[in-house]
Chains A and B, each alone.
Chain A
Amino acid sequence: MIIIITEDTNLGAKSREDGRAFDELRPLKIEAGVLERADGSAYLEFGGNKILVAVYGPKESHIRRFQRPDRAYIRCRYNMAPFSVDDRKRPGPDRRSMEISKVTAEALQPSILLEKYPRALIDIFIEVLEAEGGTRCAGITAASVALADAGIPMKDMVVACASGKVNDQIVLDLSEVEDKEGQADLPVAIMPRSGEITLLQSDGSLNAGEFEKAVDLAVEGCQAISKVQQDALKKRYGE
């Protein structure tokens, strides 16, 4: 379990439904290189989320529209298994998964040195085996580890974490219930060394002060998750 120690400015604030503090992440576990036949892979457990990511490539793109003369192209597929949620999810792509696939590819893109592989294609498959809120952030975090595991040249490992507003309080890492019943959700992806934000989405209503506080909290969460990412690769390839 990761606990971020910050100045307690919320004395007397109610704790959350699952008993976590407002700035506490769910238990996190990342494992690199779990699939034998993929070029790179990672498995992540984040609270009730279980996510498997496979990376293939860079490889020759047989589809012309995925070829770029000066750089590689990232194709990402985010997919939720039919058994990943309480109600059966209808298999196949839908509006939500297509949007997440797009924003994930765009969040990872700034970290990869794509210009090293002109005309090539990098395939990223994100399979959500169990979902409990925050799967897009968990998917980005795991995909970054899988890309490093595939030996693809990167400037940094992108890490993502969400913050939001629940019961008029800014909280870190929303669970499924908080995501549905909360007032706002703010997924953020960053390159932790430079602090550059590669993804910022916002759903719900936040005023300027709350927004700033939520972004700061999400960035703090990202920095903590980044350490787990690094440990996963150190464990796999040894120091």
Chain B
Amino acid sequence: MKAKSGDFVLPGDLLGVSEEFVPSEGAYDDNGYIKAMVVGTVSLDDKNKRIHVLPQTGTPPVLNKNTTIIGQILEVRGQRALVKIHFIKDNPRKLVASFVGGIHVSQADKGYLAKLTDAFHIGDLIEARITKVVGLDNIDLKTSHKDLGVLKAMCTRCRHFMKQTGKNEVTCPNCDNKEKRKISVNYQV
């Protein structure tokens, strides 16, 4: 065993051999030798025999379960709304690829929702949480929490940004059009 927990390592530094540990995040197997692939500190999991490197630098964002994202509604079709994921919340670094997620009608709000157009419309900026990740284009999202939902709604008639006028209601200051949304507590006026 070469490295121990808490050691500062650089890419390519030898951490151990594959007979002892399985490489986890921040480490890789190079012909039986486990090496670091990022700048960080070593963390050993003796119970599960895993070795990983906790990065000290910023890292490319990864979409995982329970990550909160900022996205935009691309399409609302029947039972499912499609969302283009732009950023991970509180992480300004760009995503590594174009990700599209989906919100099922049952995951949009806490109670019963008759139709998805009562929660979202095309162009709305939303905050949602990831519930499942299967591949690049199969990401399930939910907005059934008070801090999740629409952050900024667009009027379907004139594309003007709308003002919140009720718990689930927004009004267009340009054409007085009233629409329903699943609004987040962080709605931007």
Closest-CB distance, B174 to chain A (whole angstroms): 32
Max chain A C-beta neighbours (<10 A), residue from B10, B26, B28, B96? B96
- Say yes or no for B187: interface residue by CB 8 A criterion: no
- Say yes or no for B158: interface residue by CB 8 A criterion: no
Cα separation A59 to B35 with both chains bound (whole Å): 25
CB <8 Å contact, B11 and A60:
no
Q: Mark B26-66, 1 if CB is under 8 A from A, else 0.
A: 10101000010111100000000000000111111000000
Given contacts A39-B93, A153-B28, contact A238 B38 (CB under 8 A): no
If A58-B60, A148-B38, A153-B28 are given as contacts, then 17 extra A-B residue pairs at C-beta distance below 8 Å, sorted by A number, are: A39-B93, A57-B96, A59-B94, A60-B94, A113-B28, A117-B96, A119-B97, A148-B11, A148-B39, A148-B57, A154-B11, A155-B28, A191-B12, A237-B8, A237-B39, A237-B56, A238-B8
Would you mind naming 20 contact pairs between A and B with Cβ atoms under 8 Å apart? A39-B58, A57-B60, A57-B94, A58-B60, A60-B95, A117-B60, A117-B96, A119-B97, A148-B38, A148-B57, A149-B39, A149-B57, A150-B58, A151-B60, A152-B38, A155-B12, A155-B30, A233-B39, A238-B8, A238-B56
Cα separation A118 to B58 with both chains bound (whole Å): 20
Closest-CB distance, B137 to chain A (whole angstroms): 11
- Say yes or no for A100: interface residue by CB 8 A criterion: no
Q: Mark A189-225, 1 if CB is under 8 A from B, else 0.
A: 0010100000000000000000000000000000000
- The 8 Å CB contact of B10, one of A39, A148, A150, is A148
CB <8 Å contact, A230 and B60:
no
Question: In the assembled complex, which residues on chain B have CB atoms less than 8 Å from the CB atom of A155?
Answer: 11-12, 28, 30, 35, 37
CB <8 Å contact, A156 and B12:
yes
| A-binding residues in B (CB < 8 A) | 8, 10-12, 26, 28, 30, 35, 37-40, 55-60, 93-98, 136
Closest-CB distance, A124 to chain B (whole angstroms): 15
Size category of the binding interface on chain A: 20 to 34
Closest-CB distance, B45 to chain A (whole angstroms): 20
Cα separation A117 to B98 with both chains bound (whole Å): 12
Q: Mark A28-60, 1 if CB is under 8 A from B, else 0.
A: 000001000001100000000000000011111
Q: Mark A96-126, 1 if CB is under 8 A from B, else 0.
A: 0000000000000001010001111000000
Secondary structure class of chain B's binding surface, majority of residues: loop
CB <8 Å contact, A60 and B57:
no
- Say yes or no for A239: interface residue by CB 8 A criterion: yes
Task: Please give me the residue from chain A that is nearest to B7 by CB atom.
Answer: A239
Cα separation A156 to B94 with both chains bound (whole Å): 24
Question: In the assembled complex, which residues on chain B have CB atoms less than 8 Å from the CB atom of A128?
Answer: none
Task: Please give me the residue from chain A that is nearest to B94 by CB atom.
Answer: A59
Max chain A C-beta neighbours (<10 A), residue from B10, B26, B30, B60? B60
CB <8 Å contact, B96 and A58:
yes
- The 8 Å CB contact of B57, one of A40, A57, A120, is A40
